[in-house]
Structure 1
Amino acid sequence: MVPAERIATADIAAQAAYKRMNLGATQESLTQRNIRMRALKEMEKEKKEREGCANDKMDVEIRTHVIDEREFEHSAAVSGVYFTCDLLGDDLQLTKNEMRKKVEIFLRTQLADDPLVASTLMIFSLNGPDKRQNASETIQKYLKNLIESPDESKYHRIRINNKIFQERVSCANGGKEFLMACGFEEKDLINNDQQEPFLVIPDNKAMDTYSLIQALEILQTGQAVPLKLSRNAAVYKLEANQVITNPQLPRDFFDLDFAEIKREQQRREVDVEKFATLRTREMREKDELMRSYRYNYTLIRIRFPNRFLLQGTFGCHEPFSAVHNFVEEHLAPIEPMLFVLKDPVSGKVISDDTKTLNELNLLPAAVLHFEWDFDIQVELMKLGREVHYLDQRFIETAEPFAVI
């Protein structure tokens, strides 16, 4: 069913549910009718947005991230989520897809020097979890067969067009390269009176059990090249009494997989009944808080008393101590460096550094207020020293906080 038809069906269902609910009831008041019509209009608008978003996602290839594109009003606070990689140096900051491409290029250049390690890193770094696991398990089986039965000729060759090989090894980055690093060579052989491509390992390499065991151990202990989330730090200068507007976050901040998209669509069908109970947007927003959207990242902003704003990107499962350390790295050199970060709404100090940002509900964006420890402030005042916050080098590069 196309999105327009689904929306129309949902609208009809909502109205029918509303009629069922009101059988025998007195005629609705003008206010009730206005609320109902507003709810139905909001439902139609939101259904269109959700359906369009979901359809776009379903067209994305499985190997790419599937995302729930929800935006916040006002300023475009950050252009994307960026990463660094120790292999390429911390100075290079790219999006995850761009960084993966750079890592692939780098690893392919290393195939000539250390093919086993390079191809193992390719398998674990350039494939999704399922593809990575399938390739690793299948290649391990090939190697174990050779190690246990080096004289068995059927284990000396792998038909490239074999369905299992195609679906589990050939499709994975680094899979074929790893086998060739073990000694397999691509050759055309006669199979069922037809010439077909095979991967063939020479007898002498098939008998080199020691090398095959080493290769197996390298694969079994393989890990992905770690990508480090870049804080993408920014410092802004606020005008007097300027309100910090909610950021418009890029798609990278949100992530829904296919199963979650399906559940979300089912939830929206259930919402049809809720809309029919005259629920306003405010009422429905409370329901939204109960839904288990998955957030990948969060944008944390720290507001200082002297109208400066420090901004950074964090993973939602990082501990709050990561935010504390990030702030500390940008502060003026004051000893001891004791400070607190407060929730501006409740006024409470966030004191548990071990809790994740997700557990603290600091997502997908949050503003915290900075305060020096009270005793430090008193001591500075006694000494007649000006209270500084951010290091001067960050203040000098601060940009005005713009509102679009």
Structure 2
Amino acid sequence: MENDRLAARASNLLSYIAVDYGDSVDDDRILDTDLYRLQQHHATQALELVRQLPDKPGRSALESSIGALQEAIGRRDDADAVRRRANEIADRLAALYQMQRSPTQSLPAANLAAPLFQQRCARCHGSWGQGGGAVPDLRDATRMASFSLYDLYNTLDPTVDTVHSNRVDGDLDSRQRWALAVTAAALAVKNQLPPSADLAERYPALVGLPGMAVTRPVELPTDARNALMWWRGHPHLVRSLEHPLARAEGLLLLAETDYRGGDNAGAYHKLMLAYREGYQPLQQSIELRDRVLYRQLQAQWKKLRREVISAAPNTDVIASIQNLRTLLARARARLEPMPGSSISYLWATLLFVLALALGLSLWWGLRWRKRSRL
């Protein structure tokens, strides 16, 4: 669709501003005049693209925000401030126009696109992503942290980005573009050890979709940033860390995006994936732990399915999705170990050991007495 393409192009330009502005300006000084002018041009283009999108509540505020971004670039504001402003506008643009920024299926492993990278990308970027000259180094973790996986994916669509020629990406399908985005992300963490598994429990949204696809590591705390950099470069190794109910919640978010955009079939497909891949594997466990919550979930799944099939008003479906996500979050909490259960287990083990030791000592004492009588 033309509106999707316009929104994706605007998002792409905002991403380049967020990533490259810091190389053009430092401490109110222009470091690279050509690059600085390019940032100004990107902002102008982004504003023109947004003005071509359908008018709806929120678009005028979006235009004003891009205008403020232009002024910040003109004042040569701090690079971090400009980066945050550009990324915030891109996220608001995606929400307002219901952009599909995450794949429905699991992200492919980086090695799936390794041969494709050598065929299409190595000529400019180098066999190991080292770049050179005007071509950026894909191993530069600082630079790569400013891109989300979706930002990288967007650069591989010739209808959105003109950096690559049709020879490079003109015939790639969506799955291949996501695979190349993962391959590029993996170069920045090559030979690094995986993060601690407990970080997946602290940041569950980052080990699944859409979080892994749309989050920019640079905006996160240091531990989460480093973890996401590794996780998104090795998604096939991270799947076991994603809680099934978190998978369901992520798919429901994507279903909501589709339904808002009028794609009822896409919304229904994601809804059923959320049920089969996220909820159904834990259905019995939820029933055993909390029968009332289980019944509420069953009823809400059926209600939402009926609404999507019957093309109910957006407000009804969105409210049902939000209610279902709330119930799923409660289910995740109910499936967590009960408070103090580990301590109780430890005490039970300790008492068992003490009882065993006491029994052995009594047995040995009786045996010793019998021997002493002989």
Query: Which of structures 1 and 2 has the bigger CA Rg?
Result: 1
What TM-score, normalized to structure 2? 0.24
Higher strand share: 1
Higher helix share: 2
Structure with higher RCO (Cα < 8 A, 6+ apart): 1
